[in-house]
Structure 1
Amino acid sequence: MDAFNTTANDVLTIERSVPHTVLPEQDTPGGSIFLSSIDNAALTIISTVYAFDRSDANVVGVIKHALSKVLVYYYPLAGRLAKDSQGKLTVDCEKKLGVPFVEASADCRIENLGSIQIIDPDLAGKLVYRDPTENMLEDGPLLTVQVTKFKCGGFTLGMAIHHCMVDGVGAINFMNSWAELARGKSLSLIPYHDRTILKSRVPPQIRGPYDDFVRVSDVSDITASFEREQIVYKSFHFDADKLETLKKMITTGGQEMSSCSNFVALAALVWRARSMALKMKPHQLSKLLIAFDFRLKLRTSVPEGYFGNALLAPSCLCTAGELIDQPISSATGKINKAIERVTEDYVRSSIDFFDTYHYDPYSVSSLLISSWLRLDYSCIDFGWGGPRQLGTGNPPLNLCLFMRDESKNKMGTVVALGLPLSAMNTFEELVRI
């Protein structure tokens, strides 16, 4: 397992330019963009860093010029948030305030960074420009960009993007489009900006009840442990052999569950181990939420280039006592059922619910697992080859990321999360295979 690379942070010194505003190269539509109830619930800013091994003297100019070109297609990113008459967020495309762009240089080689899959907050602060107005809802930029050049010729591309604008699939599509224009290519995918296709129905048709909508109270004093102790982030590597061993542990009547995927097996392991490590009381409700891309479930109404959030979080809910006392196969069964529940009717019903009740499903006793395993960033080539790594900084405390294992040639998965120090020590023992 890996903790934060604090050594890299200690030795990394960077010099930054003042932010330069990048505007779309051509006139873009005005008006406003409707944001769905799913978008309205995603009020966080996501930091990502792409690390590239080589470049040349023109790297900053090429990327900045291509950004002005790609903003013609992804023009909402150059706007700002606004509120409509009902208090819901929209994107004001009349406010063409652009994207802050920062050029930076580092005093070391890019390999000195080590693994950046989960980045120390201080290191992320050096590689990603965070605008001082970002928390001013109607003034902050929706995207910031920083290109940092290293002595070896490598560079990092750091971004802070508002989650209400896009999910992981949309972000990768945006990056691919940006890179294509940098190489002088035409876009292979045109973004689709009409988010009214995910508008709630009138009248709402909420079918349930679903475990997703159950509010979970903290009866185990978990909040206090997060506030009292040092928070530690670590990543855990599961290669193909470990994953196979784990799946063999998950048995029903002595037979391996044929429907248990690597993802489901790992999700069950992490959910149980986290609940145990946080010392949840037996009657404490423990909720697992799974970030689910429902584009394929609404194939007829969500175009391939949809630029917005097409994610829901189907959940599993039980007491910590039930989760821990029963075999792990019980947890995998709950997870499989939650995933199978995602149908078009489920998606539409959930959208109606969120639009009606403005519900926040998260709490410290909840765990959200988000898989980046299918996000193919290897083809994001600005002219010097694809990135060697993709990383993120400042993940929420109830979030666990599943990412590709980049440290080995064997297929595998990296599990990354943050916990209070004492809980992390216990969690580390519980997931050892």
Structure 2
Amino acid sequence: MAAQHEDSSTVSITKAVSVYPKGLSPPKLLSLSNLDRQCPVLMYLVFLYKPSSHGYQNLSVNSVFNKLKTGLEETLSVWYPAAGRLSLNPNDGKLDLWCNNGGAILVEAVAQVKISELGDLSNYNEFFENLALKPAVDKNICEMPLVVAQVTKFGCGGYSLGIGTSHSLFDGSRGLRFPVCMGFSI
């Protein structure tokens, strides 16, 4: 999470919640491919939404947060493995996917900086690191959620959605489809 200073480039976390599937699925263990076992980390995407004449800049960060929370609850019900955790299989010691309805993490944040002040958005900017939650994974990767999301409202009224998804679960197009299925369209 970002450090909290009186700096205009600071991102301040205002709320963090665990989000569970709207409809729970029976627990089960799914085998991962050998390739998916090799990279049990979160991959991050950040989507930036500049203020527009459509009026969403007048939405409170809380209303956007609640919309995302509802969308995530519904999406986790359909994409039920995304609400699980990685787990060591007790029979063979290999990393597998435990579908246990463990949920995802959703964070609300605010930043005083304007999106226009971030420069060329097609180039990496160290500030972008503050727009996606990076959960602390002490020594047990099996406790890490497979999905984390952060909605940040900017000083200009624009928003960002930073989403981290497990490489073991989401690859390529599935990693891009998940935010769409969550309903992230303001």
The verdict on how the C-alpha distance between 1:115 and 1:44 changes in structure 2, with shifts beyond 3 A counting, is farther
Counterparts of residues 33-432 of structure 1 (less than 5 Å): 33-54=30-51, 55=56, 56-57=59-60, 58-84=63-89, 85-94=91-100, 96-121=101-126, 123-133=127-137, 136-179=140-183, 382-384=184-186
Q: Return 5+ residue gaps in structure 1 as ranges.
A: 1-9, 180-381, 385-433
Residues 316-361 of structure 1: per-residue CA shift (max 9 Å, x gap): xxxxxxxxxxxxxxxxxxxxxxxxxxxxxxxxxxxxxxxxxxxxxx
User: Greater helix percent: which structure?
Assistant: 1
Residue of structure 2 in register with 1:193 after alignment: none
| Contact 2:118–2:125, Cα closer than 8 Å, also in 1 | no
Separation in structure 2 between the aligned mates of residue 23 and residue 100 of structure 1, nearest angstrom: 9
Q: Note the C-alpha offset of 1:115.
A: 3.0
Q: Note the C-alpha offset of 1:118.
A: 4.7
Q: Note the C-alpha offset of 1:157.
A: 0.3
Residues 11-69 of structure 1: per-residue CA shift (max 9 Å, x gap): 41121024210111112231112211121122332121011124322212111111111
Q: Note the C-alpha offset of 1:136.
A: 2.3
- What is the DSSP-based 3-state SS (H/G/I as helix, E as strand, rest coil) of the residue aligned with 2:142? coil
The verdict on how the C-alpha distance between 1:117 and 1:45 changes in structure 2, with shifts beyond 3 A counting, is farther
Separation in structure 2 between the aligned mates of residue 18 and residue 135 of structure 1, nearest angstrom: 25
Separation in structure 2 between the aligned mates of residue 86 and residue 156 of structure 1, nearest angstrom: 41
- What is the DSSP-based 3-state SS (H/G/I as helix, E as strand, rest coil) of the residue aligned with 1:177? helix
| Contact 2:14–2:110, Cα closer than 8 Å, also in 1 | no
- What is the DSSP-based 3-state SS (H/G/I as helix, E as strand, rest coil) of the residue aligned with 2:143? coil
Residues 278-302 of structure 1: per-residue CA shift (max 9 Å, x gap): xxxxxxxxxxxxxxxxxxxxxxxxx
Q: CA RMSD in A?
A: 2.0
TM-score for both structures, normalised by structure 1: 0.37
Amino acid at match of 1:115: D
Number of residue pairs matched?
A: 171
Question: Identity across aligned pairs (percent)?
Answer: 29
The verdict on how the C-alpha distance between 1:107 and 1:172 changes in structure 2, with shifts beyond 3 A counting, is same
Residue of structure 1 in register with 2:4 after alignment: none
TM-score for both structures, normalised by structure 2: 0.82
Amino acid at match of 2:130: K
Separation in structure 2 between the aligned mates of residue 70 and residue 44 of structure 1, nearest angstrom: 21
The verdict on how the C-alpha distance between 1:33 and 1:12 changes in structure 2, with shifts beyond 3 A counting, is same
Residues 47-101 of structure 1: per-residue CA shift (max 9 Å, x gap): 210111243222121111111111101111111111112222111112x221111
Q: Return 5+ residue gaps in structure 2 as ranges.
A: 1-6
Larger Rg: 1
Residues 190-231 of structure 1: per-residue CA shift (max 9 Å, x gap): xxxxxxxxxxxxxxxxxxxxxxxxxxxxxxxxxxxxxxxxxx
Runs of 4+ in 1 over 4 A off after TM superposition: none
Q: Note the C-alpha offset of 1:151.
A: 2.1
The verdict on how the C-alpha distance between 1:100 and 1:134 changes in structure 2, with shifts beyond 3 A counting, is farther
| Contact 1:133–1:141, Cα closer than 8 Å, also in 2 | no
The verdict on how the C-alpha distance between 1:156 and 1:92 changes in structure 2, with shifts beyond 3 A counting, is same
Amino acid at match of 1:175: P
Amino acid at match of 1:73: V
Separation in structure 2 between the aligned mates of residue 68 and residue 112 of structure 1, nearest angstrom: 33
The verdict on how the C-alpha distance between 1:66 and 1:134 changes in structure 2, with shifts beyond 3 A counting, is farther
The structure showing larger relative contact order (alpha-carbon pairs under 8 Å, at least 6 residues apart) is: 2
Residue of structure 1 in register with 2:13 after alignment: 16
